[in-house]
Structure 1
Amino acid sequence: MKGKLIIFSAPSGSGKTTIVRHLLKTYPNLLAFSVSASTREKRDHEVDGKDYYFLPKREFRERIANNEFAEWEEVYAGNYYGTFKTEIERLWSEGKHVLFDVDVKGGLKLKEIYREHALAVFVKVSSEAEIIRRLSERGTETEQSLETRLGKVRYELSFEDKFDVVLVNDDLEETLRKAETLVLDFIQ
């Protein structure tokens, strides 16, 4: 029997990565993280094969042509992200359910493909001011990149009604408890 897919998607700064990390730590025997492929530059703290499979754009496009991705998107101009079909199969073969931390369009594509085997969770915060605060605290954004991200946040918020569940992340402890319940209810 195939496992299931639990997809967390959100605009930048909503906390989906924090939620996914918590779930992986809490349920290591049930869940495994799907490592995405990306053409963006690797950050100093990131590890190839753990955070992302970092690929040159030419190789990423070849893999698109070879139909190796379950989903892929050009998320920011010139930066591609995608999920290898083999990554999902590998994790299922280990007896795990697959946990995703992907962009909104990628999450919806995965849901469309895997249907009842997938739970699509949209994470958001209740205000744009909170997103700005969170993104600014990261210390990774210039004024221009922050504006670009905010434009994308506004766009991605328009997709929330297409997800199975909307999880508002204003109180982290409460959000983590709700995420645990969502996942356990879905995989059982």
Structure 2
Amino acid sequence: MAAQDVPSRRGLLIILSSPSGAGKTTLARRLLAADPSIGFSVSATTRLPRPGEVDGREYHFVTRPEFEAMVERGELLEQAEVFGNLYGSPRRPIEAAMEQGRDTIFDIDWQGGQQIRNSLLGREVVSIFILPPSMAELERRLRGRGQDSAEVIAGRMARSMAEVSHWAEYDYVLVNRDLDETDSKVRHIVEVERLRRERQPWLNGFVRDLAREFEGAR
């Protein structure tokens, strides 16, 4: 049989969600570092940059009027308001990556994840929810960051159970007791999802070629 071209597929939309502090951002960064074929969806936000954050790397930092104009023009795949700040995923780079067969990872909350799953791109979504091992450990991690005031941490903890209540909406749910173990599971999920039959449109032509080869050999 003649050599086949490299199989093509549409890129996955990998959604990672969790309560703040449960590990989704760290896991997303690890997955990006381990697999250069995966890109990161850089969200637009109206919140102010934290120390060390760079515009266009962690977020696209915009004003509220700029964000609202993006919504009006239909430029965002999803959007949500969290702690008084607006967040959203620019649509154009995501769709371009999908068409080129490149995966995109999203570090977003359940609201954003729900919007993407319900969109026209929902068939390409793989959603993973990360649970903390306990609420006490979650609070310890938040305090250990040293980035937020006690008031902000209290707000994040109050919101955590609202986030956790949506765990059953996700394809996969992992308890992040050990970061290395959870990281390994996330990678395996992505590998398996890439192999699903419906994500490999090249198989239809390949099987037809097998049938022609069989008929020609009879």
Question: Shorter-chain TM-score category?
Answer: over 0.9
1:185 pairs, out of 192, 199, 203, with 192
- The CA distance in 2 between the partners of 1:187 and 1:146, in whole Å, is 37
* Alignment equivalent of 1:73, drawn from 36, 55, 80: 80
By how many angstroms is 1:94 displaced? 4.8
Residue matched to 1:12? 20
Bigger Cα displacement from structure 2, 90-99 vs 31-40: 90-99
Kept after mapping to 1: 8 A contact 2:128/2:171? yes
List runs of 5+ in structure 2 lacking aligned partners: 1-8, 196-218
Determine which of 7, 10, 15 is the counterpart of 1:2: 10
Partner secondary structure for residue 122 of structure 1: strand
Number of aligned positions between the proteins: 186
RMSD: 1.2
What stretches of structure 1 move > 4 A for 4+ residues in a row? none
With over 3 angstroms needed to count, the CA separation of the structure-2 counterparts of 1:137 and 1:43, relative to structure 1, is same
Task: Tell me the residue number matched to 1:92.
Answer: 98
Map of 1:23-102 to 2, 5 A cutoff?
A: 23-28=31-36, 30-77=37-84, 79-102=85-108
How far apart, CA to CA, are the structure 2 residues paired with 1:111 and 1:43? 30
- Aligned partner of 1:128 in structure 2 is 135
CA distance in 1, matches of 2:26, 2:129: 14
> With structure 1 as the length reference, what TM-score do the two structures score?
0.94
Matched, 1:163 2:170: yes
How many angstroms does 1:115 deviate by? 2.3
Name the SS of the counterpart of 1:32 in structure 2: strand
C-alpha distance in 2, partners of 1:177/1:2? 23
Inter-partner Cα distance in structure 2 for 1:51 and 1:96: 20
- Counterpart in the other structure of 2:29: 21
Q: Which has the larger radius of gyration?
A: 2
Letter in 2 for 1:69: L
Query: Gaps (5+ residues) in structure 1?
Result: none
Query: Does 2:144 correspond to 1:137?
Result: yes
More strand by share: 1
The worse-fitting range, judged by mean Cα deviation, of 168-177 and 92-101 is 92-101
Is residue 44–residue 87 contact of structure 2 (8 Å, CA) maintained in 1?
yes
Q: Percent identity?
A: 38
